[in-house]
């Protein structure tokens, strides 16, 4: 029998692609986000796959609204089996070009939105002693990069929150599981709608993956939630390994390359929409879909992801090597 899956940030990008992937498996999907145009279009895709869809407009930075959204999903679709946190917003700018209220807004949506959503659904899952919560993270949960201080701060916060909650559930021997999926650069519409103060059009740091790669990882994590986290893409693995072994060297490398690698070289459109305070689809009712503007440069599969999912012992061995490398680097610095 199909499950009931709820996804925040479901109107575009990874959330949108994940909704389609769950629906193809026969799961009913609740779609949560602010922008109604994207939500309605996503719902049509879920129904086209033969699953039930429920549109729930909500701002995840409002804990009361999130609580009502969870109640609506369970009233109309049934008990939630899987909850996926994806919703976020961001600002592309140097730290000293970000206003305090903008930094706060990114934190409220991109970090506290995960916390509030987890709070609301976890209570119900604990009463039933079953359920899965998937936190969609990023390589930036471990490795900060220039021009994304607000987003990196939120992802780092989610990582710490996830680890603490997982320990508590393990202590309780709970039937509820939480896992996290660390994503690479993904071709999503965010680069066309986040608030940007960069002189050029923002872009993901290559290599870039299609959102369907991320969606397959989310579904796999929901099916196998006892693992602490999943790394998606060879670039994620490389970044996290380098950050564990030679973080100072990586600081210097990103200081030299991080500005140019996140810009396309073409001027930023003067009329680019922003979704910081309101949904990007706005009064025009534009649906941005799952894909961004970089289809011609994006990969539609990840051999690393395939290997990690089918041979998890390889991932465990890689993790051990990372730990040994970090220990060796620390001893070398002491000497």
pLDDT in tens, 86-124: 999 999 999 999 999 999 999 999 999 999 999 999 999
CA-CA-CA-CA torsion for 143, 147, 153, 156, nearest 10 degrees?
-20
The whole-number pLDDT of residue 322 equals 55
pLDDT at residue number 285: 79
Question: Which residue of the set 114, 116, 142, 151 is catalytic?
Answer: 151
Count Cα atoms within 13 angstroms, Cβ side, for 164. Answer: 8
Q: What Å distances lie between residue 71 and 6, 105, 178, 303, CA to CA? A: 12, 25, 20, 39
Q: Are 10 and 39 in contact (CB under 8 A)?
A: yes
Q: Are 322 and 314 in contact (CB under 8 A)?
A: no
Does 311 qualify as catalytic in the annotation? no
Structure tokens at 224: 């196998």
Asked whether residue 30 carries a pLDDT value surpassing 60, the answer given is yes
Please state, in angstroms and rounded to a whole number, the distance separating the CA atoms of residues 267 and 202.
Answer: 9
77 within 8 A of 28, measured Cβ to Cβ:
yes
Average the pLDDT over each of 18-32, 228-242, 290-304 and give the range with the smallest value.
290-304
**Full set of structural domains in the chain with CATH:** 4-334 (3.40.50.720)
Measured CA distances, 65 to 79, 141, 235 (Å): 18, 26, 37
Share of residues in the chain with pLDDT > 70 (%): 90
C-alpha to C-alpha distances, 317 to 179, 194, 198, 320, 322, nearest whole angstrom: 19, 38, 40, 5, 9
């Amino acid at each position: 029998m199909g499950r009931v899956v709820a996804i925040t940030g479901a109107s575009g990008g990874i959330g949108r692609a994940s909704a389609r992937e769950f629906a193809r498996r026969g799961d009913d999907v609740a779609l949560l986000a602010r922008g109604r145009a994207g939500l309605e279009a996503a719902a049509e895709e879920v129904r086209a796959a033969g699953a039930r869809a429920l549109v729930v407009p909500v701002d995840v930075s409002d804990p009361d609204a999130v609580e009502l959204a969870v109640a609506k999903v369970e009233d109309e679709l049934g008990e939630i089996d899987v909850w996926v946190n994806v919703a976020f917003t961001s600002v592309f700018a140097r730290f000293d070009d970000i206003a305090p209220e903008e930094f706060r807004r990114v934190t409220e949506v991109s970090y506290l939105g995960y916390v509030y959503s987890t709070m609301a659904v976890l209570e119900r899952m604990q009463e039933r002693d079953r359920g899965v919560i998937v936190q969609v993270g990023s390589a930036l949960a471990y490795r900060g990069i220039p021009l994304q201080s607000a987003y990196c701060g939120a992802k780092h916060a989610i990582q710490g929150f996830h680890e603490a909650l997982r320990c508590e559930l393990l202590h309780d021997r709970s039937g509820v599981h939480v896992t996290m999926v660390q994503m690479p650069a993904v071709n999503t519409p965010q680069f066309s709608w986040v608030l940007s103060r960069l002189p050029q059009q923002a872009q993901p740091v290559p290599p870039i993956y299609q959102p369907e790669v991320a969606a397959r990882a989310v579904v796999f994590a929901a099916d196998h939630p006892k693992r602490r986290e999943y790394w998606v893409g060879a670039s994620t693995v490389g970044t996290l390994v380098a950050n564990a072994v030679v973080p100072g060297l990586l600081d210097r490398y990103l200081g030299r390359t991080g500005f140019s690698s996140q810009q396309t070289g073409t001027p930023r459109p003067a009329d680019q929409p922003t979704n910081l305070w309101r949904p990007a689809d706005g009064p025009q009712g534009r649906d941005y879909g799952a894909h961004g503007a970089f289809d011609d440069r994006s990969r539609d599969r990840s051999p690393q992801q395939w290997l990690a999912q089918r041979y998890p012992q390889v991932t465990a061995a890689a993790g051990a090597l990372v730990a040994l490398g970090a220990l060796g680097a620390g001893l070398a610095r002491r000497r």
